[in-house]
Amino acid sequence: MEERHIRKPDWLKVKFPAGENYTRIDRYHRLNGLNSVCRSAACPNQGECWSQGTATFMILGNTCSRHCRFCNVASGPLDPPDQGEPRRVARAIYELGLNHAVITTVTRDDLADGGAYQFVELIREIRKLTSECRIELLISDLQGNREALTRIVAEKPDILGHNIETVPRLYSQVRPEAEYQRSLSLLADVYRHDSEIITKSGLMLGMGETEAEVMQVMADLRAHDCELLTLGQYLSPSRNHYPVQRYVSPQEFSAYAEKGLALGFAHVEAGPLVRSSYHAEEQYDAGRRYSHG
């Protein structure tokens, strides 16, 4: 894929992060040695979300075992899981007074269970401290380890997400160590094990996909019982990453959202700056209304 230099449109401008909540969350992360996908993945919504008092925690380190060309998270030597991390993150969620905690992870193919044990321990630690906080997980594909997935599902998180990221034709260029069907199967397995858990996935647009391909992925997700969907603009973190092929207009995103709802998704959060945890509480509310009438 040739390098392309396309000027960013005005709709991708974001506000400079500021405010009391932003300062509080930023300071807490620095003082307690916590990782957040907000910062590690260079999320464009960091300022808005932190200013509103929400954040997405990233566990199992800050280095990934895979080499996806779209991602800003570094690849390299991997440390063993930090046994104190679940308690530390749970304490942060409690002390920050979060009502909806989003926890994601780097991919850890070096671990037999893909890091499932760390998720299980974290959920348990959160629930020791608060019964009010909703728990949303964004997990890797666990290399298809169904036993590991079953252990996570048994802890009954409120939302369990896994991102498809792009259309299958682009997997070899964008995320060569992933498998499209394996990701779909994971979402279906969650729903089959416990239909009370809301399932969620997300795609980045602007990588060279066609509208027909996006619609097929959306149909595949619904066929595998995915209930919530996020669609956002891909933003290349650097010249060394996969290049942006085009910028999708806000009107196109709105059209995809309408088509997704017509396919049966409980909610579609779509827009240039949307990421998996964007407006996570509102997405949860929509999914709960859908699941329980």
Is 162 strand, coil or helix?
Answer: coil
151-183 burial code (b ≥16 CB/10 A, e <16): bbbebebbbbbbbbbbbbebbeebbeebebeeb
- pLDDT at residue number 1: 46
Nearest to 155 by CA among 108, 205, 210, 193: 193
Rounded Cα distance between 49 and 117, Å, is 28
Instruction: Say which residues have a Cβ less than 8 Å from residue 69's Cβ, sequence separation at least 6.
Output: 173, 174, 175, 241, 242
Task: Measure the CA dihedral 92/94/97/99, to 10°.
Answer: 110
Is 231 strand, coil or helix?
Answer: strand
% of the chain surpassing 70 pLDDT: 80
- pLDDT at residue number 23: 61
Q: Any idea what the Cα angle at residue 15 is, between residues 12 and 20, rounded to 5°?
A: 150
- pLDDT at residue number 286: 73
Q: pLDDT tens across 190-205, in order?
A: 999 999 999 999 999 9
Please, is 233 exposed, middle or buried when counting C-beta atoms within 10 Å of its C-beta (0-12, 13-18, 19+)? buried
- pLDDT at residue number 293: 53
Angle between helices 250-263 and 211-223 (to 10 degrees): 30
- pLDDT at residue number 26: 62
- pLDDT at residue number 290: 64
- pLDDT at residue number 74: 78
Q: Name the average pLDDT for the chain.
A: 86
User: Given 3.40.50.300, 3.40.50.720, 3.40.630.40, 3.20.20.70, which CATH number is that of 10-292?
Assistant: 3.20.20.70
pLDDT, block means (10 residues), the chain with 293 residues: 65 62 60 55 53 72 87 84 94 85 92 97 96 92 97 97 97 95 98 96 97 98 97 90 94 98 96 80 70 55
